[in-house]
C-alpha cells in the first residue's frame, strides 16, 4: 500500500517494485542513514589512529604534540576557577590561540576526565567535531528540489564526503591529535549549514544572518585565522540575499544589513579580546601572534619578511601537493584538479567559489606564521579539509548522469568517459595515498609515545623534586603532569604583565631581565629545558639534576629533556650604580634590554637604515665580575647597536606625564664598534648599571 503523502510515478512502480521500495525507504531514512555512515567512517579512522597509539604507549593515553597539553593546562585552570590562565596564579594569559577549545575541554575535566584521561575526552570532542562537520556539509551537495517526496536528485553524492574528508593521513593525524582543529572544523560546518539555508522572506534572512554571525564568532574563537572564513561567509550571504530581494534599493539595504550582521559578532569578539590583552598584559596582540608572525619580528626588514613569506607560501603548497597528497610527485595536483570541477558546473559554482576562496585566503594568511612547517603542517590542514570536500563534490559531478530521463548515445558516451575518469582518479589517489596513511598512523603512535616518555615523565620527575615553580621552554605536558606553577620562556604561558612573548623575540637576555624583576620567592627553582635551545642558560643559571630521553624520537625538540636546579644568584639584587660618586643621585633609571623599563621610557633605536640585516637592537647578555664584589658574577643584558645607529629614550612615566623623547648623550649610545659594543661597555662598568638621564625642568 502506498505511503500517505508520497507519490511514486506509475512507471517505476510497475517496472521496478524493489527499486520503488528502496526509494521509499531512502526517502524516509536518508538523513539517519547518512549520519550513521558519517559516524562509522569517523570511528573507523579514529580506531586506526588511537588503536596504534595504545599499542605504542602500552595502553596509556597520550597526545602526539606537546602543544595539546597547553590546551589541557588552560582547561584545568578553567575548571579550577582560573579562567584564561595557563598556570594557576600567573594571571591572565593570551597565549592560548583558541579561546573556545579550553572551555570545551574544561567540561570534560569537570566530568571526571582528569590527568591523561583528558585526552580521551579530547578524542571524543574530535570525533564529534568531525561528525558535525560531515553532517552539516551535506548541504554542499543536497539539492533543494525534491522528486515527489523522494530524496533530492543526486542526494547520493553526500555519501562521498565522509570517505573523502578522512582519506588523507596528515589531515586525520591533525584532526585526531587533540588540538582544536576538529572542533574548529565542526563549528565551520555549522557556519556552512547556516550560510546555505534558504529562509522564506527578508525577515527570516536577516534573522539567519545574525545566527550566521554568532556562529562566525564561535569560529573565530576556535581559531583567529577564521576571520577570512567569516568574511567569505559574509560575502556569500550578501549574494544569496540579493537574489531574493524585490528591488535594487531593498536589495542593497538588505545586503548591507546581512553583511553587518554576519561580520559584527566576530569583530566585536576580536576587539574585546584585544582590549582585554591591552588592559591585562600591556599588548594589543595575543602572545602567539607576537611570537609566531613574521611582521612581529623586529629584526627583519620588509624585504626579508617578504622573502620568508614567499618561501613559506611556496613551501606549504609544494609540501601539501607533493608530499601529503601523494607519494609520487607526478600526481601532485590530482586532488586540486578534481576539486576544481565544481567551479565548472553552474549549479555548484557558488558553493565552490565559497570554499575555494577560503582555501586560498587561509593559505595566504597562515604563510605569515614562521612555524607553518612544524607539527605535520597542522596550521594548513583546515584548507586541506575544504579542498577534500571540494574534491568529493567534483567526483560526484563527474559520476552524475545529469538530467533524469533516457540518455542519447552522445550523452551516454560522455557520461561513460566522465565516470571512467572519476574512477581512475579515485583509484590513483588511493594507491598513492595508502602508503602515506600507513606512515601517518605510525607517526601518530610513535609521537604519542615520545611525548609520554619524555615530557610527561619529566613532569612527574619535577613533581618529585617538590619544585616551587618550574621553568619550561615549551609550555605543555611538563606543567600539566607536574601540576605545579610554571614559567614559560617562549611566552605562550604568560606571567602577569611581564612581556615574555615579546622578550623571546628580542633575545634570551631580555627574558632574563624579566626574571630579574620577579621576586626571588616566586622565581622558578627547577628548569626542564632542551639545553640546545637556550644557549648559556643552563651554564649560567643551572645545576644538572637528570636527563629524560625520548627513544626513537620523531616529534620532540631534542633527544633529551634536561632538568636543572635553578640558581639565580648572578642576577642583580639592588640595581644601584656601582660607580655613583659623592654628591650624585639617581634621577631616573633606564635598564636597556629590560622591556618594561624600555616601555616606560619609550626606548627605541633610530637612524638604522644603513644597518639593515645586522639585527640592530638584538639583545645579548654576559656574566662578568661585580665591581663591588669581585668574587661574585653579575648578569646584565644590552642591545646590539651597529655603526651609524643610535638608541634613545625620554623620561619615565610620572604623575606629571611622560617626558619628551630625545637621544640625550647620557641615554643614547652611538656605538663606535659593531655588534656587542654597547652591551660590553655597560657590562664592563658593572652589570645592570643605571643610566642617569639629565632631565630639564620642562621634562
pLDDT tens-digit readout, 112-153? 999 999 999 999 999 999 999 999 999 888 743 333 333 455
Element (H, E) at 162: helix 161-165
DSSP single-letter state for residue 404: S
The answer to whether residues 117 and 109 touch, using CB atoms and an 8 Å cutoff, is no
Q: 660: which residues sit within 8 A by CB, 6+ positions away?
A: 650, 651, 698, 699
Quote the pLDDT of residue 244.
53
All residues at 6 or more sequence positions from 74 whose CB lies less than 8 Å from its CB, including other chains: 84, 85, 86, 93, 96, 102, 105
Q: What's residue 658's pLDDT?
A: 37
Q: How confident is the model at residue 17 (pLDDT cuts 50, 70, 90)?
A: low
pLDDT band at 690 (very low <50, low <70, confident <90, very high): very low
Task: Kindly state the DSSP code that residue 142 receives in the 8-state scheme.
Answer: -
CA distance 212 to 346: 25
What are 221-239's pLDDT values in tens digits? 999 999 999 999 999 988 8
Residue 489 has pLDDT above 70, yes or no: yes
Find the helix packing angle between 381-399 and 181-195, rounded to 10°. Answer: 50
Strand 486-488 vs strand 470-472: parallel, antiparallel, or unpaired? parallel
Among 14-23, 293-302, 592-601, the range scoring the smallest mean pLDDT is 14-23
On whether the CB atoms of residues 234 and 195 are closer than 8 A, the answer is: no
Helix axes 227-244, 181-195, angle to 10 degrees: 10
* Cα–Cα distance measured from residue 4 to residue 14, given in angstroms and rounded to the nearest whole number: 18
What mean pLDDT comes out for the span 388-392? 96
Alpha-carbon distances of 362 from 320, 367, 535, rounded to whole Å: 14, 9, 35
| pLDDT tens per residue, range 620-674 | 888 888 777 767 888 888 888 777 676 666 655 543 333 344 443 333 333 333 3
**Segment among 293-297, 399-403, 438-442 with least mean pLDDT:** 399-403
The answer, yes or no, to whether residue 553 has pLDDT greater than 90, is: yes
Determine the 3-state secondary structure of 200 from DSSP: coil
287 near 297, Cβ under 8 Å? Answer: no
- 84 phi-psi bin (left φ>0, alpha ψ -120 to 50, beta other): left
Local confidence band at 247 (pLDDT 50, 70, 90 cut-offs): low
pLDDT at residue 201, as a whole number = 66
Indicate the length of the chain as a whole number.
699
Share of the chain above pLDDT 70, in %: 82
Cell numbers describing residue 506: 628580542
Residue 279 CB: number of other CB atoms within 10 A? 10
User: What's the pLDDT band for 59 if we cut at 50, 70, 90?
Assistant: very high
Give pLDDT, residue 322: 94
Give the Cα separation of 525 and 229 in Å (integer).
45
Please tell me the predicted confidence (pLDDT) of residue 29.
79
For the range 418-422, what are the long-range contacts, defined as Cβ-Cβ under 8 Å and sequence gap of 24 or more?
A: 422/338, 422/395, 422/398
Give me the chain's average pLDDT, please.
Answer: 83
Mean pLDDT of 275-279: 93
* The Cα angle at residue 502 between residues 501 and 506, in degrees rounded to 5: 120
More confident residue, 205 or 359: 359
User: b/e string for 650-674 if b means 16 or more Cβ within 10 A?
Assistant: bbbeeeeeebebebeeebbbbbeee
Residue with cell 597547553: 70
* Band of pLDDT at residue 469, cut at 50, 70 and 90: very high
Residue 433: name the closest of 692, 129, 626, 164 by CA. 164
pLDDT at res. 615: 62
Helix (H, G, I), strand (E, B) or coil at 542: strand
Lowest mean pLDDT among 295-309, 507-521, 594-608: 594-608
Does the pLDDT at position 446 exceed 80? yes
Neighbouring C-alpha atoms within 13 Å toward the C-beta of 368: 14
- DSSP bridge pairs for 471: 487, 527
Q: With CA atoms as reference, report the closest residue to 60 among 68, 50, 73.
A: 50
The model's confidence at residue 1, banded by pLDDT at 50, 70 and 90, is very low
Helix (H, G, I), strand (E, B) or coil at 2: coil
- pLDDT of 406: 57
> CB atoms < 10 A from the CB of 583, how many?
5
Cα(119)–Cα(123) distance, rounded to whole angstroms?
6
Q: Among 230-244, 477-491, 497-511, where is mean pLDDT lowest?
A: 230-244
Is residue 366 exposed (0-12), middle (13-18) or buried (19+ Cβ within 10 Å)? buried
Quote the DSSP letter at residue 406.
Answer: P
- Res 38: pLDDT: 96
Amino acid at each position: 500500500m502506498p505511503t500517505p503523502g508520497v507519490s511514486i510515478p506509475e512507471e517505476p512502480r510497475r517496472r521496478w517494485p524493489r527499486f520503488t521500495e528502496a526509494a521509499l525507504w531512502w526517502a524516509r531514512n536518508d538523513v539517519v542513514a547518512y549520519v550513521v555512515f558519517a559516524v562509522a567512517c569517523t570511528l573507523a579512522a579514529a580506531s586506526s589512529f588511537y588503536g596504534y597509539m595504545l599499542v605504542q604507549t602500552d595502553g596509556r593515553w597520550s597526545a602526539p604534540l606537546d602543544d595539546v597539553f597547553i590546551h589541557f593546562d588552560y582547561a584545568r585552570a578553567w575548571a579550577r576557577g582560573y579562567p584564561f590562565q595557563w598556570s594557576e596564579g600567573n594571571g591572565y594569559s593570551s597565549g592560548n590561540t583558541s579561546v573556545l577549545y579550553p572551555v570545551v575541554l574544561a567540561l570534560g575535566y569537570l566530568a571526571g576526565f582528569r590527568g591523561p584521561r583528558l585526552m580521551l575526552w579530547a578524542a571524543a570532542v574530535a570525533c564529534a567535531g568531525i561528525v558535525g562537520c560531515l553532517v552539516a556539509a551535506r548541504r554542499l551537495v543536497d539539492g533543494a528540489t525534491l522528486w515527489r517526496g523522494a530524496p533530492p536528485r543526486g542526494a547520493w553524492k553526500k555519501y562521498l564526503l565522509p570517505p573523502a574528508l578522512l582519506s588523507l593521513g596528515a589531515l586525520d593525524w591533525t584532526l585526531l591529535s587533540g588540538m582544536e582543529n576538529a572542533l574548529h572544523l565542526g563549528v565551520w560546518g555549522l557556519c556552512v549549514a547556516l550560510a546555505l539555508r534558504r529562509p522564506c522572506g527578508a525577515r527570516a534572512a536577516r534573522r539567519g544572518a545574525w545566527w550566521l554571525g554568532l556562529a562566525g564568532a564561535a569560529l573565530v574563537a576556535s581559531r583567529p585565522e577564521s576571520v577570512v572564513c567569516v568574511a567569505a561567509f559574509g560575502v556569500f550571504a550578501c549574494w544569496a540575499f540579493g537574489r531574493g530581494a524585490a528591488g535594487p534599493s531593498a536589495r542593497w539595504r538588505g545586503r548591507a544589513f546581512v553583511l553587518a550582521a554576519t561580520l559584527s559578532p566576530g569583530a566585536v569578539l576580536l576587539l574585546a579580546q584585544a582590549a582585554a590583552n591591552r588592559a591585562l598584559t600591556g599588548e594589543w596582540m595575543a602572545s602567539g601572534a607576537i611570537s609566531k608572525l613574521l611582521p612581529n619580528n623586529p629584526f627583519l626588514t620588509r624585504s626579508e619578511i617578504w622573502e620568508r613569506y614567499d618561501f613559506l607560501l611556496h613551501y606549504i603548497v609544494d609540501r601539501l601537493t607533493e608530499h601529503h597528497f601523494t607519494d609520487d610527485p607526478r600526481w601532485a595536483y590530482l586532488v586540486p584538479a578534481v576539486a576544481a570541477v565544481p567551479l565548472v558546473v553552474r549549479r555548484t559554482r557558488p558553493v565552490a567559489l565559497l570554499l575555494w576562496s577560503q582555501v586560498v585566503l587561509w593559505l595566504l594568511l597562515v604563510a605569515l606564521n614562521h612555524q607553518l612547517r612544524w607539527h605535520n603542517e597542522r596550521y594548513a590542514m583546515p584548507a586541506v579539509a575544504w579542498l577534500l570536500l571540494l574534491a568529493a563534490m567534483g567526483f560526484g559531478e563527474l559520476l552524475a548522469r545529469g538530467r533524469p530521463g533516457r540518455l542519447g548515445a552522445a550523452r551516454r558516451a560522455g557520461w561513460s568517459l566522465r565516470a571512467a575518469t572519476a574512477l581512475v582518479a579515485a583509484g590513483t589517489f588511493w594507491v598513492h595515498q595508502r602508503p602515506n596513511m600507513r606512515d601517518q598512523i605510525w607517526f601518530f603512535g610513535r609521537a604519542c609515545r615520545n611525548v609520554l616518555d619524555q615530557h610527561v615523565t619529566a613532569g612527574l620527575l619535577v613533581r618529585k623534586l617538590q619544585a616551587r615553580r618550574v621553568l619550561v621552554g615549551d609550555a605543555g605536558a611538563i606543567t600539566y603532569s607536574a601540576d605545579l606553577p610554571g614559567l614559560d620562556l617562549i611566552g605562550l604561558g604568560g606571567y602577569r604583565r611581564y612581556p615574555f612573548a615579546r622578550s623571546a623575540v628580542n633575545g634570551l637576555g631580555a627574558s632574563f631581565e624579566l626574571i630579574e624583576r620577579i621576586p626571588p620567592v616566586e622565581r622558578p627553582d627547577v628548569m626542564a629545558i632542551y639545553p640546545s635551545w637556550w644557549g648559556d642558560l643552563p651554564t649560567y643559571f643551572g645545576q644538572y639534576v637528570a636527563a629524560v630521553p625520548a627513544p626513537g624520537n620523531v616529534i620532540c625538540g631534542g633527544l633529551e629533556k634536561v632538568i636543572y636546579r635553578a640558581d639565580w644568584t648572578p642576577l642583580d639584587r639592588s640595581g644601584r650604580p656601582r660607580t655613583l660618586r659623592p654628591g650624585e643621585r639617581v634621577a631616573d633609571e633606564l635598564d636597556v634590554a629590560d622591556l618594561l623599563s624600555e616601555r616606560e621610557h619609550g626606548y627605541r633605536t633610530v637612524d638604522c637604515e644603513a644597518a639593515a640585516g645586522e639585527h640592530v637592537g638584538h639583545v645579548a647578555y654576559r656574566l662578568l665580575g661585580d665591581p663591588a664584589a669581585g668574587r661574585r658574577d653579575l648578569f646584565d643584558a644590552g642591545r646590539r647597536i651597529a655603526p651609524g645607529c643610535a638608541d634613545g629614550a625620554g623620561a619615565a612615566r610620572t604623575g606629571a606625564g611622560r617626558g619628551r623623547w630625545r637621544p640625550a648623550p647620557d641615554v643614547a649610545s652611538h656605538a663606535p664598534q659593531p655588534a656587542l659594543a654597547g652591551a660590553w661597555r655597560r657590562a664592563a662598568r658593572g652589570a645592570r648599571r643605571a643610566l642617569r638621564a639629565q632631565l630639564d625642568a620642562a621634562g
